[in-house]
A = this chain, B = another copy of it.
Amino acid sequence: MLTLGCPDTTGIVAKISTFLADEGGWIVEAAYHSDADTGWFFTRQAVRADSIAVSLDELRARFAARVASELGPATEWQLSSSDQPKDIVVLVSREGHCLHDLVGRIRTGELNARIAAVIGNHTDLEDFATRLDIPFQHVPFPAAGTDPDGAGRAAAFARVAELTDVHSPAAVVLARFMQVLPPGLCTAWAGRAINIHHSFLPSFVGARPYHQAFARGVKLIGATCHYVTADLDAGPIIEQDVIRVDHSDAIADMVRQGRDIEKLVLARGLRWHLEDRVLVHGRKTVVFS
């Protein structure tokens, strides 16, 4: 799997495709994007492993020497193998629908991933996880008003980080975790921490978005899967979707219908991330779905 982003110019596709052809690479799937706004070029190429004679390390060395060196120092690229399931860590609170959904998708083989740990600030989902042999860790967070200087919360997050980082996960999934990551973790997990926000961002940033949506009287509600950054709910968006509501839907109805969208949007975003289909550039993403 090759992903690459670099300043756009003529001949990039020719260079890459000639290199892959010379190595005997059978391209199974190829996608390209030239962004006129930023003058940047992006590509993702899936090549059959058995069509390449050399090792992955050797291929990387050759690509660096023959292609990347000619595309300039700003070029970002990655060559990886997709045969092994990737480890992920899932952060949860009390609501289980996103966790249930991810577990189901892993059991059916749709997501090529392994849940190394579920970390919850409540124990509501411990029973579900442990029955299915998924390690569950409880890290309590201070209740509102009991942690004036934030030391308790900082300690809890330090414990979450410790329990997470031991797995070097390919993704840290905030599956309705309901706690705002501190800036340090946003940096440490940049490009790997994935949140599902229960509104169609940028509408209804922050707490209780379904209540905000109900009060405003919108006719569609949505969910947004995005990378976590230090700006609350403002990280690069990976995927969004919506569902229709009307005046007869109370907040509880919105919550119920919204859960279906949250599950779908998170599952799509996470799969694309794990399959190297998401390239981040600035505040935006290129998604080769």
Contact = CB atoms under 8 A, between A and B. Distances in A.
Interface of A: 10-11, 13-14, 17-18, 20-21, 24-37, 42, 51, 95-97, 100-101, 103-105, 107-108, 110, 128, 131-132, 200-204, 214-220, 222, 236-237, 239-242, 244, 246-248, 250, 256, 259-260, 264, 267, 283-287, 289
Contact of A216 (B33, B42, B283): B283
Contact of A27 (B13, B132, B200, B259): B13
Contact of A202 (B97, B203, B244, B284): B203
Contact of A200 (B37, B220, B236): B220
B104 A100 contact: yes
Given A101-B104, A108-B95, A14 B17 contact: yes
B27 A30 contact: no
B33 A13 contact: no
A237 B220 CA distance: 11
A218 B108 CA distance: 26
Contacts of A13: 13, 17, 21, 27, 30
Given A18-B14, A203-B203, A241 B218 contact: no
A48 to B, nearest CB: 10
A107 B96 contact: yes
Chain A interface secondary structure, helix, strand, loop or mixed?
Answer: mixed
7 contacts: A10-B21, A13-B27, A14-B14, A14-B17, A107-B128, A201-B218, A260-B264
A26 B10 contact: yes
A197 to B, nearest CB: 13
B239 A242 contact: no
Contact of A256 (B14, B110, B216, B239): B110
A-B pairs with lowest CB-CB distance, top 3: A100-B104, A217-B284, A14-B17
Given A18-B18, A100-B103, A216-B283, 14 more contacts: A10-B25, A13-B17, A13-B27, A14-B21, A28-B36, A37-B214, A96-B107, A107-B128, A108-B259, A110-B256, A216-B237, A217-B284, A219-B237, A220-B241
Contact of A34 (B27, B97, B105): B27
Contacts of A132: 128, 131-132
A256 B25 CA distance: 27
Contacts of A284: 216-217, 247
